[in-house]
Amino acid sequence: ARVAPLLKKPTLDPSDINNYRPVSLLSFLSKTLERAVLGQLSCYLSQNDLLDPNQSGFKTGHSTETALLCVTEALRTAKANSLSSALILLDLSAAFDTVNHQILLSTLSELGISGAAHAWIASYLTGRSYQVAWRESVSAPRALTTGVPQGSVLGPLLFSLYTKSLGSVISSHGLSYHCYADDTQLIFSFPPSDNQVANRISACLADISVWMTAHHLKLNLGKTELLLLPGKDCPFHDLTITVDNSLVSSSQSAKNLGVTLDNTLSFSTNIKAVTRSCRFMLY
């Protein structure tokens, strides 16, 4: 594959390499074949109920709007029932690039994907190489031993299957979750009298970190955010949690999948931001 670094946002500093996203430019023949495999694989997974119902990424009929709706409705329901909620937004660093092929193939076997289909996917993942194209320069080819190609047709679905078992880790701690691609949203609703909230969330995050390490993934602590939403007629309490020995304090607003959520779910902060952007474009 030829990898083209693309700036994540036009407003970011182009001199900082961390602001670029590597996108694989693949041949149309490869993508055509992948699309045929994707159709058959998706059909098998859907018919056997093997897709994570809490994953809105890479799924027909789902989008960022689906993920946002699920999260906001869960928060509104908790608030109406006089329960406060903690919303923890997790982000992964270079998630697609660090997928371990052996773990992925083992996961596919556990899902019942075997025989020729399993062998084809193994062949699809192995023996790949890449070159980085920057302006008029192209690097020498290098072997690609981990990851699923960003920009490919099949890669996103394989990534969602790779991370499916994370859901059971989260649920075992009594937290609910919803994902969009590698963005994970954790929700924990609790009565005001619960004084073990921080400990329970931190314990969940500790197990998530262990799972991440075992699966060759890494949390992006710089993008981890915590939003505390008080329930109806409930007092507001500050909250600090621990993520990989780093402290994360609650804030009054947090950006989730492009939408700024505030701790009252009024969306006033997001409306103001959109209004400012529209004014800038108009004038």
Q: In this predicted model, what pLDDT tens digit does every residue of 79-134 receive, in sequence order?
A: 999 999 999 999 888 888 899 999 999 999 999 999 999 999 999 998 888 888 88
pTM exceeding 0.75: yes
User: Which residues lie closer than 8 Å to 103 by C-beta, 6 or more apart?
Assistant: 162, 215, 216
The encoded tokens of residue 177 equal 């979750």
CA distance 266 to 152: 38
CA distance 6 to 47: 37
Q: Is the pLDDT of residue 183 over 80?
A: yes
CA distance 194 to 84: 10
**What residues are paired with 184 via a beta bridge?**
90, 179
Q: What's the whole-number average pLDDT of the chain?
A: 89
Tokens 């474009």, residue located: 281
Q: Is the pLDDT of residue 219 over 80?
A: yes
The encoded tokens of residue 29 equal 């023949």
Give the mean model confidence (pLDDT) for residues 128-142: 86
The encoded tokens of residue 160 equal 């969602």
What are the CA-CA distances from residue 107 to residues 7, 19, 206, 207 (Å)?
A: 32, 31, 23, 19
CB 233 within 8 A of CB 40: no
Q: Provide the pLDDT confidence category of residue 187 given band limits of 50, 70 and 90.
A: very high
CA distance 7 to 182: 18
pLDDT tens readout for residues 1-42? 788 888 888 888 988 888 888 787 888 888 899 999 999 999
Give the mean model confidence (pLDDT) for residues 204-222: 91
pLDDT tens readout for residues 230-256? 888 777 778 888 888 888 888 888 999
Q: Is the pLDDT of residue 172 over 90?
A: yes
